[in-house]
Amino acid sequence: MNTLKKTLLSLLMATAMAVISTSTFAESDPGRITYKPAEAIDMVAAKIQAAIEGISKGASNEEAAALIKPAIDLSKEINANDKVDNARAKANRKLKSAMSHAKESALQEAEQELKDAKKDFEALKSLI
């Protein structure tokens, strides 16, 4: 009887752990849109291209910074593996550098940083 109690208690604990496990409830927040890595990369590249075009058309410092900000925010959605995340962080540093150049009125440097960042983000597809 004692062995039966221990066995039933062990099974009950294992079942409770499986039912309440955090991985069981792992899903995105309600109302939050999740993207596949390749899709997110394409969206970031499109935002960067829009920022490049805005700067080449003569956007002001604040407008250029406002065009770069969505690309930085959207780049956080790229999540595939550690290699991709490391490369994404490196490309994201170029976006942040472009943002600081834009705020400092160095729009040519910002445009060059954006072009480099776009190449780096498009290269992430080969790491997926």
Q: What is the pLDDT of residue 20?
A: 67
Q: What is the pLDDT of residue 112?
A: 94
Q: What is the pLDDT of residue 88?
A: 92
Q: Which CATH number fits domain 33-127: 1.10.8, 3.30.450, 1.20.120, 2.60.40?
A: 1.20.120
> Model confidence over 84-114: pLDDT tens digits?
899 999 999 999 999 999 999 899 999 999 9
Q: What is the pLDDT of residue 27?
A: 59
* Burial letters 64-81, b for 16+ CB under 10 A, else e: bbebbebbbebbebbebe
Domain map (residue ranges) of the chain? 33-127
> Model confidence over 70-79: pLDDT tens digits?
999 999 888 8
Distance CA 47, CA 38 (A): 14
